[in-house]
């Protein structure tokens, strides 16, 4: 996290997440996990995939604006109001309410789109409707299916590498993060 902004996104020196901000991220993840029932490790894995923990990451704009740590659906919380390439208005330090809002929007959703909790519920409901007895929210596959849904808004339950118009390797990346992979080479490309 400490070098995500400069190392992953090529942002200017001084934009990286600070130790106090990392502490605020930890607090925000724990609070979102407690209020939603979503496992804190899953929240962290999604956040690391989306932003690397860069609190000043820009919005992506693939049909809608996805801001902040979780690159949530049309959320209102970020510390980079100008976007990629214009770093003149970075919010530094990023305040606790913005960091909490970024995580909460990613987990709980926004008025414009679902969050991790809703996607998890949907894939569990799908598994139960399909008569898959082991799909109860504790099965690892549920998390990979929810990750696919979070990234693309849809899930092909027979092929999690079907990214629709999004990152086809997203579910694989999340699976690797949850099983200990960090930056090692991996098979999905």
Tokens for 130? 């399909």
pLDDT at position 88 is 87
pLDDT greater at residue 183 or residue 178: 178
Quote the pTM value: 0.91
Residue 66, strand partner residues: 60
Rounded-to-integer distance, Cα 9 and Cα 3, Å: 9
pLDDT at position 186 is 67
pLDDT at position 32 over 70: yes
Strands (E), the chain: 60-61, 65-66
Peptide bond between residue 141 and the one before it cis (omega within 30 degrees of 0): no
Mean pLDDT, the chain, whole residue set: 89
pLDDT at position 188 is 76
Q: What is the DSSP string of 7-33?
A: HTT-PPTT-SPPHHHHHHHHHHHHHHH
Angle (deg, nearest 10), helices 40-51 and 19-36 = 130
Rounded-to-integer distance, Cα 139 and Cα 143, Å: 8
CB 98 within 8 A of CB 79: yes
- Other beta carbons within 10 angstroms of residue 184's beta carbon come to 7
Residues constituting the chain: 189
CB 142 within 8 A of CB 120: yes
Tokens for 82? 């100008």
How confident is the model over 137-155, as pLDDT tens digits? Answer: 567 888 999 999 999 988 8
How confident is the model over 54-93, as pLDDT tens digits? Answer: 999 998 876 678 899 999 999 999 999 887 888 889 999 9
pLDDT at position 137 is 59
């Amino acid at each position: 996290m400490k070098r995500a902004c400069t190392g992953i996104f090529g942002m200017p020196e001084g934009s990286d997440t600070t130790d106090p901000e990392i502490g605020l991220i930890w607090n925000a993840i724990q609070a979102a996990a407690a209020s939603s029932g979503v496992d804190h490790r899953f929240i962290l894995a999604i956040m690391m995939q989306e932003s690397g923990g860069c609190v000043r990451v820009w919005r992506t704009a693939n049909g809608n604006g996805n801001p902040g740590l979780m690159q949530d659906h049309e959320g209102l919380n970020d510390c980079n109001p100008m976007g990629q390439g214009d770093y003149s208005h970075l919010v530094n330090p990023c305040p606790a309410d913005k960091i909490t809002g970024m995580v909460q929007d990613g987990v709980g959703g926004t008025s414009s789109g679902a969050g991790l909790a809703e996607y998890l519920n949907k894939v569990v409901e799908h598994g139960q409707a399909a008569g898959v007895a082991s799909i109860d929210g504790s099965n690892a596959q549920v998390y990979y299916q929810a990750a696919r849904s979070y990234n693309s808004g849809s899930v092909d339950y027979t092929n999690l590498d079907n990214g629709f118009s999004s990152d086809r390797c997203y579910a694989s990346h999340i699976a690797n993060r949850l099983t200990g992979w960090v930056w090692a080479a991996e098979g999905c490309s």
